[in-house]
Amino acid sequence: MTPERLKNQRLAALFVFGWILFNHPILALFGRPETWGGVPLLYVYLFLIWALVIGLTMLITRRGPPPADGSREPPC
């Protein structure tokens, strides 16, 4: 399996993971009138999941195969 294909599969899995976490059955668990530090629980959940998805996207897309010639700078 090529690194590019593996990256695409991981991004697709992350999309499904995010789609599940941002849909009704899971969101309904946090739609209570409780607060955490004065902030509604639903807002805390949405922000944390949003940050998690962005962080995982960064981890998946940031790493690539090392350059073949060993240099770190992109060619001009």
In the chain, where are the structural domains located?
A: 3-62
- Mean pLDDT (whole number) for 51-74: 78
Backbone angles phi, psi at 20, to 5 degrees: -65, -45
**Cβ(50)–Cβ(42) below 8 Å:** no
Provide the token pair at 38: 């004065």
- Mean pLDDT (whole number) for 38-65: 92
| pLDDT for 74 | 61
Provide the token pair at 24: 């009704």
Q: What is the mean pLDDT of the chain?
A: 88
Q: Give the residue among 49, 2, 3 at the shortest CA–CA distance from 26.
A: 49
